[in-house]
Structure 1
Amino acid sequence: MLFGSLLALLATGCQPASAPDAPATTASGTGPDLMENSPGMMAEHDHMAGMAATPAAAAGQGPYAQAMRLHDAAMNRMDALAAERQRLAGALAQLGTAKPANPGRAARLRRTVAALEAADGQMMDWMHNAHAPDSTSHSGAQVAAYWQQQLPVLRKIDQRTTAALDSARALR
């Protein structure tokens, strides 16, 4: 069980920096694994890592490994979401004090801040509501089926996050 959990953890992309296939940096530039700085997120990740039941999942293939790669990518962009949200909120505050006010730009800033918040909220909701079947009491097929169902949800989160960040960066 411990060996399988270790293999599952390695398969998710949370390898040590010396691993040959570990990413050098992330899209947000925060390093290969933002979760190492967040004990709560790491505990959640460890909990999910223990749910990989199949050899394919342990080897970095299959729906569990795909889901965890999407999860890890989203988590690595949470700082960028927060930074852009803060930057745009500041721009919105400055715009409110400018004379004459630009209502079109203010509306666009508010919509983009809302999109950033929605992307963050969707990821947090998914993490709090993900309840994969325990691999000790369910078959590997049941566990794999659960993760297969989660892939479209995680892809949608990834798309929403990308779109929100792109919109925010366009408002320079």
Structure 2
Amino acid sequence: MKVFAPKTLLVALAAAAGLAACSPTTTAADAPAASARAAETLLMDRHDSVMTQTGRLYELRQQIATAKPANPGPYVHGLQAADNAMMAWMHGYHAPDTATTPAPARLAYIQQQQVKLQAVEKQMHGTIDSAAALLKQAPGTPAPATK
């Protein structure tokens, strides 16, 4: 599972922009477009990483339903909210058209989406950790499988 820290993301974006600008086949005019493409690739990689956790949300909801721990409501609601946040991000994301949107605007949009997706990722990891801890505390229930 890939977890992207904000500093790691910024370093990767800066490196991608630097490499794109220094590439012998990239002109100065192409550098913003290359940076936007690199940023979009990183965004989609993060999306893919976060999406792998959506199955875990479902598994934990099922395990909570089976284990019937005390006061499961907030945990179940948290798991559903994390899933809803991911779905909302996916439905709200619209890849900028490379033919009609200038590269700097594409890059700005993609960076904005990175921040939003990072918040979804944080929410998802937090609720997964909380639900797993609840299941560990429930008497007589096996510990949830870790992935």
Q: TM-score, normalised by structure 1?
A: 0.56
Shift of 1:57: 4.6
Once the two structures are superposed, what CA deviation does each residue of 1:114-159 show, in whole Å capped at 9, x if it has no partner?
1110000000011111123211111111111111111111111000
Return the alpha-carbon distance in structure 2 between the equivalents of residues 131 and 56 of structure 1.
18
2:55 is equivalent to residue 55 of structure 1: no
What RMSD in Å do the two structures reach over aligned CA positions? 1.9
User: Where does residue 91 of structure 1 map in the other structure?
Assistant: 67
Quick one: percent identity of the two aligned structures?
33
- Structure 1 unaligned blocks of 5 or more: 1-25, 28-52, 96-104
Shift of 1:169: 1.1
Q: TM-score, normalised by structure 2?
A: 0.65
User: Where does residue 39 of structure 1 map in the other structure?
Assistant: none
2:95 is equivalent to residue 132 of structure 1: yes
Shift of 1:66: 3.0
Match among 39, 45, 56 for residue 80 of structure 1: 56
User: Where does residue 156 of structure 1 map in the other structure?
Assistant: 119
CA distance 1:80–1:168, shift in 2 (3 Å): same
Residue aligned with 1:164, SS: helix
Return the alpha-carbon distance in structure 2 between the equivalents of residues 110 and 73 of structure 1.
27
| Count of residues in correspondence between the two structures | 106
Which segments of structure 1 move beyond 2 Å, counting only runs of 4 or more?
Answer: none
Opposite residue 89 of structure 2, the aligned amino acid is W
Opposite residue 47 of structure 2, the aligned amino acid is H
